[in-house]
Amino acid sequence: MSAGRSREKQVQLSDLIIDTRGSEAVLLLRTITGPYVYSNTVTVAEDENGDVARLTVCNLEDNMIDAIVAEGSIVAVKQPCWNELVDGGYHIRVDHPSDLVLLEPGDALVPSKWRKKEKVDQSRDATQWKKEGDMMFLKKRFRKALVFYDYGLAKLLKSPDQVCEIDLHRKRCGVNIVLMRLDDATKDLANAISVHAASTPSLSSTELSNSSIIEVWLRNNSTEDPLQISSNIPRALKELAARIKFDLGISQPTPDYNFPLISSYVGPLTLHVDAANYIYETEIKRTASHGRGVFAKRALKVGELICAEKAFALPGYFMQDRSSDCLLYSLGDETAAPRPGAWLFKELVQKLRWNPSIRKDFFELDDGGYWKENGWDIAEGEDIPVDVFRIEHIRRLNCFSVPTRSADLLSQAPNFNPELRNGFWVHASYINHSCLPNSVRTFIGDIRFTRATRDIEAGEEITNQYISPDIDIDERQEKYRSAWGFDCDCELCVVDGGIPKDVRKERKRLFEELKAMVMRLSEKGTTITSIKKIARALRELEELYTSSKEGQSDAYATLPRLALVHPTLYLTEAWRSVKNVDKTIDYAFKLLRNFGIFAKVEGSRFEIVSNSGMVNIETVRALKYLSEAYTSKGEEQLATQCIDLAQTWFTVITGSEVGAEEFFREK
């Protein structure tokens, strides 16, 4: 970061105006309290005249243990102004981290009365600085550890010591990984490996002693190792190489994931899985009218893994700390994102800020036209600027809400609403929405798995539901419009949108009435009378899905009838609970049908005739109930076919087969 180095542009607190920023102005402040760090850093600071102000710094990679703006820090704030606070007061708020420059106490810009020369103990040698750095690392004061390792490496320029040099680069690499500074970590590790090779007689004349070649290998996203680097370097360096390669993303050509192992490893505090990406079978291309999209390169079968990808960013640890509340308020359109979005935003800003090498992939994503309107041309080879507003546009349009494991959602109590994290996956960000999708996304830790909900042809676009579609088409489109700026034009939306308004209104009214009736009657316990009453009302609602005009074809012939799903589900489960096998079978078929999945039985063959792609927990249950019912009728072949498909669909909706046995065993 470089500050405006001239004292002429300097202003004092008394010069500032509310909400008006001088484009050249710089304000020097000295903090006079320790910081309060949550998603922002808040502190109190004085200017040269002794006037004081509350200083809020947003999007800073800050924490209480290793505070950046600690008490006594001297900072230069670019383009400062007063901003009003909700409590009626005023503060100086720094929105963009690069508008804040932390000054060394000896900096020429620092007023003489604040200046003091920082004494670096010149008598210490590299080994001693290494020990100091290690101490800071143990205390989790990572930035200070970096400073001490830097001092150590500087000492080695005068008195070289290859063992110590390897050690210092290795340690600094580790700290940089913790701080998500992967570009710096890569350089450190490449240096450590090349110094190791240069000082090992059998390797000194190989390409391993060239740090640039090592850096290229660390960044090549491949599992291959043509230089046999991994067999020639010490274990500690090998482990760091694996860590960096996974964090930068490795691609593998086959989807061989050890799901039981990954699932057992993942927990609320252990989200980051060492696994490679599998994106070989899909490609990003232009669509006819939905911008870019993801396409299948080959035909895929229902249940098959389409792609798997490690997160670009997924805040984990601090999300657990419920006391660290925060909100991300966007001044652009006055919207606010709650805690999960605010944490993700902060992590994205930091990751992009410290790693210019990964900016291109990120900033190519859809930003809703923000950069076209507000940006400028960036010359070839020039670093892409980290514009926090652009990041926020990209975050909003492309992030996902994620549980720790998708399978966990199946076992949660009915009204339990877990706080989901917000995560970011670059390749998957190109997948467009359809209410009738051919894929479902699932998560196990920081890996996102996308599986086929039905057979997919080579060249077909991959789609998934951004959110499950509302019954009412107007409400549905409003949600897509406000969150992502589009109107869905899938077959279901076109047909639902063509239904006269009065019919749609009546559907909604009857649906609400039925829902209330189901709630009321199920509270009293299931009886044949209550089942029949709901079945009668359901028939009335069904009428609203059939055309009254003679000879007119059924617009929903292959489509879901969303308003019918809830009562049909109730009736399927109600008939099952009173052990009426034939009725359970009838309604399980109806349930599938209302999700747009048409199944038939011919002799001992169960067949899916057409599938809208709406595979979910209810359709899995419908198959499970069918299987049970056929078993009780002695129709084992049908039962097996139903349970086999249910297991495939279970894999689709959870990501893997882990937990299937327990799920299907449950009564």
Ligand X SMILES: C[S@@+](CC[C@H](N)C(=O)[O-])C[C@H]1O[C@@H](n2cnc3c(N)ncnc32)[C@H](O)[C@@H]1O
Label residue 200 exposed, middle or buried (CB < 10 Å: 0-12, 13-18, 19+). middle
CA atoms of 633 and 630, how far apart (whole Å): 5
Nearer to ligand X, 318 or 486 (CB): 486
Q: For 498, phi and psi rounded to 5 degrees? A: -90, -5
Strand order in the sheet with 305-310: 305-310, 447-452, 439-444
Q: What are phi and psi of 509, to 5 degrees?
A: -65, -50
Query: Between 488 and 638, whose beta carbon lies closer to ligand X?
Result: 488
| SS3 category, 267 | strand
| Residue 448 region by backbone torsions, left for phi larger than 0, else alpha for psi between -120 and 50, else beta | beta
- If you ran DSSP here, which 8-state letter would residue 660 be given? H
- How many residues are given for the chain? 667
Residue 376 CB burial class (10 angstroms; 0-12, 13-18, ≥19): exposed
Q: Which is nearer to ligand X, 480 or 649 (CB)?
A: 480
421-437 residues labelled b (16+ CB within 10 A) or e (exposed): bbbbbbbbbbbbbbbbb
CB of 337 to ligand X, least distance (A): 16
Alpha-carbon gap, residue 558 to 649, rounded angstroms: 20
Q: Please name the amino acid found at residue 595.
A: F
Which residues contribute to the site for ligand X (CB under 6 A)? 290-293, 365-366, 397-398, 429-430, 432-434, 484-486, 488
Question: What's the rounded Cα separation, in Å, for the pair 553 and 562?
Answer: 19
CB of 570 to ligand X, least distance (A): 31
Least distance (Å) between residue 365 CB and ligand X: 6
CA atoms within 13 A on the CB side of 59: 28
Beta carbon nearer to ligand X, 105 or 368 = 368
Looking at the Cβ atoms of 155 and 393, the one nearer to ligand X is: 393
Q: How far is the CB of 257 from ligand X (least distance, A)?
A: 24
Question: Is 92 or 391 the residue whose CB approaches ligand X more closely?
Answer: 391
> Any bridge partners for residue 439, and if so which?
452
Q: Which helix (H) or strand (E) holds 571?
A: helix 565-577
Measured from the CB atom, the residue of 147 and 397 that comes closer to ligand X is 397
Q: Using the minimum distance from each CB to ligand X, give the nearer residue, 5 or 360.
A: 360
Asked if 479 and 470 touch (Cβ cutoff 8 Å), the reply is: yes
**Shortest gap between Cβ of 290 and ligand X (angstroms)?**
4
DSSP state letter for 469: P
Smallest distance from ligand X to CB 247, Å: 23
In whole angstroms, the minimum distance from the beta carbon of 371 to ligand X comes to 13
From the number of C-beta atoms within 10 Å of its C-beta (0-12, 13-18, 19+), residue 2 rates as: exposed
Smaller CB distance to ligand X: residue 449 or 480? Answer: 480
DSSP string, 276-326: -BB-TTEEEEE-SSSSEEEEESS-B-TT-EEEEEE-SB---GGGG-TT---
User: Which C-beta is closer to ligand X: that of 276 or that of 365?
Assistant: 365
The count of other CB atoms within 10 Å of the CB of residue 34 is 14
Closest by CA to 67, choosing from 100, 89, 43, is 43
CB of 427 to ligand X, least distance (A): 11
Min dist. Cβ of residue 311 to ligand X (A): 15
- The nearest distance, CB 433 to ligand X, in angstroms, is 4
Q: How far is CA 257 from CA 254, 281, 447, 460, in A?
A: 9, 16, 11, 25
- Give the pairing of strands 461-464 and 432-433: parallel
- Please write down the long-range contacts of 285-292, taking CB distance under 8 Å and 24 or more positions apart: 287/432, 287/461, 289/489, 290/432, 290/486, 291/366, 291/432, 292/366, 292/430
d(CA 145, CA 136): 5
- Shortest separation between residue 283's beta carbon and ligand X, angstroms: 14
Alpha carbons 470 and 464: distance in angstroms, whole number: 15
Q: Tell me whether residue 140 or residue 297 sits nearer to ligand X (CB atom).
A: 297
Q: Which is nearer to ligand X, 373 or 602 (CB)?
A: 373
Q: Which residues pair with 305 in a beta bridge?
A: 451
Question: Nearer to ligand X by C-beta: 473 or 574?
Answer: 473
Minimum distance from residue 466 beta carbon to ligand X (Å)? 7
* Choice between 484 and 650, CB closer to ligand X: 484
Nearest approach in angstroms of CB 448 to ligand X is: 13
Q: Measured at CB, which residue is nearest to ligand X?
A: 291
Residue 287 beta carbon to ligand X: minimum distance, rounded to whole angstroms: 7
Select from 484, 536, 423, 502 the least CA-distant residue to 290. Answer: 484
Least separation in angstroms between CB 291 and ligand X = 3
CB of 507 to ligand X, least distance (A): 23
- Cβ proximity to ligand X: between 158 and 372 the closer is 372
Complex with ligand X: residue 18 or 288, whichever CB lies closer:
288
Q: Which residues contact 519 (CB under 8 A, 6 or more apart)?
A: none
* CA-wise closest residue to 440 among 307, 311, 282, 264: 307
